[in-house]
A = this chain, B = another copy of it.
């Protein structure tokens, strides 16, 4: 049994990690870290875990944790993981960081977008960007896995094949993304109150959202040139789900068959990416609670643009599920172990 510790286990992503790992046959959670709830029973913070998790919340002591576990998940605010990690810890455990600390290779970009000093830039090169469908082999050998962002995972998996194959001009890319509210976290803030979110929609972080450089960096690797995009997130009154609608200029003359062939080339062997049948638009409900990403596209011959669409569950493939997938790669388990949930409908 692999022993796992979670720092930040009482946020929504942390608790989803608990839910998934409870169903993983080769892993045991031995440390439920939560700075806010130290000494409180985990099942009192998340009543769904009553009679399932018997543990008490622990503090964020990564040093001590490194002695007790094989893998540490950090589901914490930006900056914490970078501030705790060191060589001794890395010599003992694998780290899967669900925050943004190790996602961007360029420390300046990180500090500019996150308004934070990076406390461990020496590990930026080594850390592997844990988008399994892209970096599978590198993940297997990593010490630090930078688990991708929720919007990022959806945006990249939806658009990357066409960027990589040169079928779209990456600098015309506009990504309009919509998210359920669990992405905003469990903090008690007025804008996240039920009555403020319910029956309401809005854009936020327009032209300034932190997932923008992450998408750009990954797409630039795919096409070997700098990429600058527009990315606009929106808040929608539902718990889970991200929907991405992406627009780009299509290489003149490209047919739907060619586009479909490219998607198939990249994803036919990928269990968790489903290329939908022609004419089907992804719906977040069809992937809820599962690690799937559904993608599809439509060409608009009037404007010669292509509209690419993708849907995932932000807490699963957009966070905890992808973290488990990365863990499976790190420890040589079946990649879908603990991730075979059928999407829940309705």
Q: Give A residues with C-beta under 8 Å from B.
A: 12, 15, 18-19, 22-23, 46-52, 171, 174, 176, 178, 180-182, 186, 188-190, 192-204, 206-207, 228-230, 232, 234, 236-241, 243, 245, 247, 274, 276-277, 280-290, 294, 298-300, 302-303, 305, 307, 309, 311, 340-346
Whether A178 contacts B181 in the complex (CB less than 8 A), given A198-B198, A201-B238, A342-B52, comes out as no
How far apart are A336's CB and chain B's nearest CB, in angstroms? Answer: 12
- How far is A341 from B230 in the complex, measured between Cα atoms in Å? 36
* Contact status A283-B194, CB under 8 Å: no
* Contact status B276-A50, CB under 8 Å: yes
A12, closest chain B residue (CB)? B346
A307, closest chain B residue (CB)? B206
* Contact status A202-B342, CB under 8 Å: no
Residues of B within 8 A of A288 (CB): 48, 199
- How far is A283 from B202 in the complex, measured between Cα atoms in Å? 5
Residues of B within 8 A of A198 (CB): 181, 194, 198, 237-239, 346
* Contact status A346-B247, CB under 8 Å: no
Whether A196 contacts B298 in the complex (CB less than 8 A), given A206-B281, A238-B237, comes out as no
* Option from B207, B245, B289, B346 in Cβ contact (under 8 Å) with A232: B245
Whether A50 contacts B274 in the complex (CB less than 8 A), given A206-B281, A207-B302, A305-B174, comes out as yes
Can you report 19 residue pairs joining A to B where beta carbons are below 8 Å apart? A48-B343, A48-B344, A50-B276, A50-B277, A52-B342, A174-B247, A178-B201, A186-B195, A188-B189, A195-B346, A196-B285, A199-B199, A199-B240, A200-B238, A201-B238, A201-B284, A203-B245, A203-B281, A206-B281
14 new A-B contacts at CB < 8 Å, known A12-B195, A48-B343, A198-B239: A22-B342, A47-B276, A48-B344, A49-B342, A50-B276, A176-B245, A199-B240, A199-B288, A202-B283, A202-B284, A203-B307, A206-B281, A240-B346, A289-B289
Residues of B within 8 A of A247 (CB): 174, 176, 230, 247
- How far is A143 from B288 in the complex, measured between Cα atoms in Å? 36
How far apart are A301's CB and chain B's nearest CB, in angstroms? Answer: 8
- How far is A6 from B302 in the complex, measured between Cα atoms in Å? 37
